Structure 1
Amino acid sequence: MAKKRTLLHEDPRWEDFSDDFAGDLVGFAIDVVELPPTPQQITLYNSVAPSRSMVSVSSGHGTGKTTALATIVLWHMLCYPQSITLLTANDMAQLKATLWKEIGLAVERIRRGPYGWLAEHIEILANGQMRIIGFPDTWFVESKTANEKTANKMAGRHGEWLMIIGDEASTLPDAVLTTLRGALTEEHNRMLLTSQPTRNAGFFYRTHHDLSKLNGGDWTPLVFSSLESPLVSDQALKELWDSYDDDERRVRLLGQFPQESGKHMMNLPAAEAMYRRGRIIGDDEPYGWVVLSDIASGEGLRDKSTVVVARIIGYGERGPDARRVEIVTVPVLTNNVRSNRFAGLVAESGDPYDGVTYVVDSGGLGINVCQDLEDMGKPVHRVNWGNPCFQNKNKDRYMNLRAQAMHQAARAAKEGRLSILTGEHRKTMLSQSSRIPKTFTDKGRIRVPPKHSKEWEGMPSPDLWDAVCFAFLEGLIYTASQEGDGDGRSLGDSLESEAEALFDDVV
C-alpha cells in the first residue's frame, strides 16, 4: 500500500518556518529564496508584510520589480495556510512571459537551498496557476486578465489570507480595481499594485495622490527610480537618459507621472521656432532630397492629399549624425486631385532635384500611387506606419512606426534639427504639429492615439504634418545628392555604412 503523502501543514518543519518568515518578507528573500534584495526591494517587502497593507509602486526600468513580485507571491503562498493570491493584468501573455518565469526561477532557487523541502509541495500549472499540492481549491495562486467579468469572479473569493496583485496597474480599468479593492474584507487581506506611471488619471494614479496615506487615504505610495537602482549600470542609464525626452525620463526612468504639458508631442512655441531658424544643412554636406506624400483616404473635405519636398541628412537621433531636415516647399495640399492623377504630381514635384527618394503612405489609395511611381522607375519608400518598429530599441520605445516618426520629428523640432524654409500653409502646419496627442502604453511605450479619439480634441487628420514626419521614419534611406561635396567618401561607402547602422539592432 502506497505511503500517504505528507501535506505542507503536516510537515513538522512548516510551523517553525511560518513563525519565522510570515512577518519577515526580507528574511524570506534572503534565507529562503536566497536572493539578497536591493534597498528598493527591501522598502517594498517591508511595506507589503503587515496585514491589511495596500501598496502602490510607481517604477522606472530595471528596479527589480518583477523579481520582487515573484518573491512576494511565494512568500504569501508558503507562509500562510490556505492562502489565496490573485494576479491580474491587461496582458496575460506578458504576465506569463515575465512574472511567471521569475516565479519558476525562484522555486528552483528554493529547491536548491536550505528550505528545499518546501518546493516539493509546490505545483506550477501551465495555465498561469500554482498551488500547494493537496489543496487545489483552497491554497493557490491564479492569474486572470483584467476585465469586469473576471474581476467579479476574483472578488467573489474570500479568505483570511487573501492577496491581490495588479501588474501594470496604470492601464487596468478603474471598475476592475475598485471591485477588487472592495473584496478585501478580512483582517489579513492585502493588495499590491505596480506599474510604470503612464497616465495622469485612473485608480493607480489616485493611489499616489488623493487615495495615498500622504493625503489621509489607505495606500502606501512608493516611487522607484532607475537612477537609484543598483541593477542598472551607469552606462545604460546615461544612454537611456540621453535618448529620452523629458516625459520619457519621468515615466521610464524616474518612476514619475508624465507632466500635463506632455500630452502633446510638442507645443506651439516649438512649432513656431521651426520657421525662424533658417538653413541648418550646409550646401557642402552630403544631404539627400526626399518627396514626402500623404494620400487622402476619402474622408471628405477634412482629409487632404499632401506633397512636401525636403532636404535630409543624418541617420541618428542624437549627436553629430542626428537627422536634420529642411522643408523646402509644399507644392500640394488639396482634396481636389483624383488618386489616379496624384502619382504624376508627386513625380513632377521631385523632377527639379537630384537623386530623389519618394516616401509615400501606402495605406488605402496610396498603394496605387506607390505602384504608379514604381512603374515610372522612381525609388519609392512605402510607409506602413501602423506597423511595429524593427529595431529592438524602438520596439521597446514606441507602439508603432507612426509614434516613432512623430516623436522623432517633434524632438528634432525642439532640438533645432527641423527647419521650415517656406511660408506655404504655415497656419495649417502650426495647428497640426502643435496638437499631436501623445500617450503611453502599459509598457511605457510612446503611442499616438487613433485618429478621431477623444485625445485629438476634434482635430481633423493632420495630413501635412504626417508627411513631414515621414522624413524621420526608422529605416528611411536617402541618396546623397551630387550637389554637395560631402566628406570625400564615395556614395557607395556612405550608403553601405548608413545601411549597416540602421540594421545592426535588428533581430
Structure 2
Amino acid sequence: MSKRVLLPEDPRWMPFCKRYAGNIERFAIEVVGITPSYQQMELFGSVSPSRSRTSVASGHGTGKTAGIAVIVLWHQLCYPMSVTLLTANDMDQLKATVWKEIGISHERIRRGRHGWIAEHLEILADASCRIKGFEAIWFTESKTANEKTANKMAGRHGEWLLVIADEASTLPDAVLTTLSGALTEQHNRMLLTSQFTRNAGFFYRTQNELSIENGGEWNNLRFSSFDSPFVSDSSLKELWDQYDDDERNVRLLGISPQDSSKHMMNRKVAEAMYRRGRIIKDNENYGWLVLVDIASGEGLRDKSACILARVIGYGDMGPDARRVEMVKVPLLTNKIRSNTFAGYVSDNGAELSNVTYVIDSGGLGINVCQDLEDMNKVVHRVNWGNPCFKNINKDRYLNLRAQAMHQAARAAKDGRLSILTGDYRNQMLDQSARIPKTFTDKGRIRVPPKGATEWDGMGSPDLWDAVCFAFLEDVSYIVSGEIGMGGLVNSAADTALKRTEEMFSDV
C-alpha cells in the first residue's frame, strides 16, 4: 500500500498557491467553478490582500454566504498551516447556511479540474474542516461568540489567520474588539458580515467612523439586493411593498435603520388614529372582535383591558389588507377578579352579532378562556410568545407578538386603524407611541422583553396589547349579521330586502 502524499508534498500545490493565493476571484472562477457577481468580486477583492479588514452590510440575496464559503476554502487550501475562525451567535444557523455552502463549494472543487486538492480537505459534522495529516494545526473551526469565549477565541495565533464573524451586528462588542486586537501579524485578516440591526456597536462603527474613508482601517462595503443578480425584479417589488422603511433599509438596501426606528410608531401617527373616523362602511362584510388582555398580577401598573372592535380583511398589504375600528373600551382596570372576568367580557359582547373573543391565554387568562368556552363562545386563545406560523412572517418576525405589534403600527401609518372612542385616550397614546422595536441577528423584528432598557421605564402596555391582538396573523372573524351598532343595528337580510324594494319601486 502506497504512502499517502500530504498536501505540501504534492508537486501541484506550490504552483496552485502561486496562482491563487493572492486572488480569491480567480480561485472562485477556476477552482470552485462559479461566475461571481459584481458584489462577490468586490468582496473577494477586499479580502484578498494581506492584513485586510472588511466589513459588509448586506441586504437579502446578495450571495454573501456563498462568498464566505469560497473565502474559507481559498484560505484553507492556499496558505500553509492556516487557521480560519468562523464565529456567530447562533451555531445552528451557521451550520445551516455557511457550512452548507462550504460543502457545496467543496463538491464543486472535487468535480472540477483541480479535484485533486479537494481530496486533501476533510469536512466534519461539528462545523469544522481540516487538512489531512495536519488536523491540529491546519484547520477551520466554528465558535459561538459571547463574552465568555472571547479570550479563548483570541488565543488563536498564526502567520495565516482569518477571522470571519457572521451577523456581526448582533455580536457583543467585547468579542469583536478582542478578536480584532488579537490579529497582530502581517497576514492576519478579518471579515465582518451582517445586516444592520442597530445604530451602535462595533460593526456599526466599522461601517462609519472606523472605515477607511474616515481614517480607519476597515473597508466598508454595502450590498443592496437591487444590485444582485440573484434576486428577481418581481421578488424585489413584492418585498418592497411588504416591508416598512426600516425593513427596506436593513433587509434590502444594506443600510442602517433610521434614528426614529427604536419605536414601532411615533406620537404623530398615534394621534392620527383618533382623527381618522370610520374606515369600514356599513355595507361591508365586517366582523366583531372582543379583544381582551388579562392582567397577570405584576402590580398596580398591570391592568386588564377589554376592547370592542370592528374588523375586515386580512394581511398587511393590498386591497384586502386588514382594517380595524376600535369602537369602545369598556374596561381598563386592575380591580376585577379573574374568576368574574369571563362574565363581564361576555356581557360586553352580548349585543354584537357573530362575535369572536380574542383572549390572552397566558397566566390567569387561561381561566377566562375556559369559562368563555364553557359558555359556548367563539374563543381565539392568544399565545403571542409563540413563533409565527406563516413562512413569510417567520422570516420577518421573532414571534407573534412582534408580528402583531408591527402590523398594528403599519396599519396606523397606512390609515387602516381607527379609534372611534375617547375612552382612555391618554393611556392609548402613551402606550402605542412607545413600543420599542429592535432587530434579531437574522434581521427579524422583535419587541424587547418587558422591563428591558428599551422600554424606558414604561409599564405593561395592556391597552395597546389588546389592540394589537386584532392584527395577529391567525386571528379570523365571522361576518356579522348586522350593520351599525346600538340603536342603528339592522340585519343584513333587512337591508337586502330594503334595497330590493327600492330597485322595483317604479315597476
TM-score interval for Structure 1 and Structure 2 normalised by the shorter chain:
over 0.9
2:97 equivalent in structure 1: 98
1:501 equivalent in structure 2: none
- The answer on 1:434 being equivalent to 2:433 is yes
1:208 equivalent in structure 2: 207
Deviation of 1:316 (Å): 2.3
1:117 equivalent in structure 2: 116
> 1:159 & 1:357 partners in 2: Cα distance?
65
The answer to whether the 8 Å contact 2:87/2:144 transfers is yes
> 1:426 & 1:268 partners in 2: Cα distance?
12
Q: Write the deviation string for residues 453-483 of structure 1: whole angstroms up to 9, x where unpaired.
A: 0000000100000000000001111000112
Q: Which runs of 5+ in 2 are unaligned?
A: 484-490, 494-507
> 2:318 & 2:125 partners in 1: Cα distance?
47
AA aligned opposite 1:353: L
1:342 equivalent in structure 2: 341
AA aligned opposite 2:352: Y
- The answer on 1:316 being equivalent to 2:290 is no
What are the equivalent positions in structure 2 for 1:77-476 lying under 5 Å apart? 77-476=76-475
Deviation of 1:123 (Å): 0.5
> 1:300 & 1:122 partners in 2: Cα distance?
60
2:65 equivalent in structure 1: 66
The answer to whether the 8 Å contact 2:130/2:139 transfers is yes
Q: Write the deviation string for residues 185-226 of structure 1: whole angstroms up to 9, x where unpaired.
A: 111000000001111111101101111111111111000000
AA aligned opposite 1:448: V
Deviation of 1:156 (Å): 1.0
Deviation of 1:128 (Å): 1.1
Q: Write the deviation string for residues 35-81 of structure 1: whole angstroms up to 9, x where unpaired.
A: 11000000000000000000000000000010000000000011111
AA aligned opposite 1:80: Y
2:504 equivalent in structure 1: none
> 1:242 & 1:270 partners in 2: Cα distance?
20
Deviation of 1:160 (Å): 0.6
Identity among equivalent pairs (%)? 72
> 1:443 & 1:160 partners in 2: Cα distance?
33
> 1:60 & 1:86 partners in 2: Cα distance?
24
The answer to whether the 8 Å contact 1:58/1:222 transfers is yes
AA aligned opposite 2:58: S
Q: Write the deviation string for residues 75-98 of structure 1: whole angstroms up to 9, x where unpaired.
A: 001111111000100000110111
Q: 3-state DSSP class of the match of 2:275?
A: coil
> 2:122 & 2:162 partners in 1: Cα distance?
19
1:24 equivalent in structure 2: 23
The answer to whether the 8 Å contact 1:224/1:254 transfers is yes
Q: 3-state DSSP class of the match of 1:164?
A: strand
2:497 equivalent in structure 1: none
> 1:151 & 1:443 partners in 2: Cα distance?
21
Q: 3-state DSSP class of the match of 2:274?
A: coil
AA aligned opposite 1:54: R
AA aligned opposite 2:400: L
Deviation of 1:486 (Å): 8.2
Q: Which runs of 5+ in 1 are unaligned?
A: 488-507
AA aligned opposite 2:335: N
The answer to whether the 8 Å contact 1:286/1:486 transfers is no
> 2:73 & 2:323 partners in 1: Cα distance?
52
Q: 3-state DSSP class of the match of 2:341?
A: helix
> 2:389 & 2:146 partners in 1: Cα distance?
31
Q: When the two structures are aligned, how many residues end up with a matched partner?
A: 487
> 2:150 & 2:113 partners in 1: Cα distance?
38
Q: 3-state DSSP class of the match of 1:176?
A: helix
> 2:46 & 2:341 partners in 1: Cα distance?
63
Deviation of 1:125 (Å): 1.1
- Provide the aligned C-alpha RMSD in A: 1.2
Deviation of 1:280 (Å): 0.3
> 1:19 & 1:104 partners in 2: Cα distance?
25
AA aligned opposite 1:215: N
> 2:81 & 2:217 partners in 1: Cα distance?
26
AA aligned opposite 1:397: R
> 2:365 & 2:91 partners in 1: Cα distance?
36
AA aligned opposite 2:81: Q
The answer to whether the 8 Å contact 1:160/1:187 transfers is yes
AA aligned opposite 1:183: A
Q: 3-state DSSP class of the match of 2:464?
A: helix
2:38 equivalent in structure 1: 39
AA aligned opposite 1:187: Q
Q: 3-state DSSP class of the match of 2:282?
A: coil
1:49 equivalent in structure 2: 48
The answer to whether the 8 Å contact 2:295/2:303 transfers is yes
AA aligned opposite 2:136: D
User: TM-score, normalised on structure 1?
Assistant: 0.95
The answer to whether the 8 Å contact 2:315/2:473 transfers is no
The answer to whether the 8 Å contact 1:285/1:486 transfers is no
1:3 equivalent in structure 2: 2
Q: Write the deviation string for residues 331-363 of structure 1: whole angstroms up to 9, x where unpaired.
A: 000011011111111101101110100000000
> 1:347 & 1:422 partners in 2: Cα distance?
20
The answer to whether the 8 Å contact 2:482/2:492 transfers is no
Deviation of 1:150 (Å): 2.5
> 2:344 & 2:195 partners in 1: Cα distance?
46
1:503 equivalent in structure 2: none
Q: Write the deviation string for residues 149-202 of structure 1: whole angstroms up to 9, x where unpaired.
A: 332122111111000000000011111111111110111000000001111111
Deviation of 1:148 (Å): 2.8
> 1:27 & 1:150 partners in 2: Cα distance?
35
Q: Which runs of 4+ in 1 moved over 4 A?
A: 484-487
The answer to whether the 8 Å contact 2:33/2:112 transfers is yes
Deviation of 1:272 (Å): 0.3
> 2:277 & 2:146 partners in 1: Cα distance?
52
Q: Write the deviation string for residues 432-462 of structure 1: whole angstroms up to 9, x where unpaired.
A: 0000000000000000000010000000100
The answer to whether the 8 Å contact 2:6/2:133 transfers is yes
> 1:192 & 1:261 partners in 2: Cα distance?
29
Q: 3-state DSSP class of the match of 1:474?
A: coil
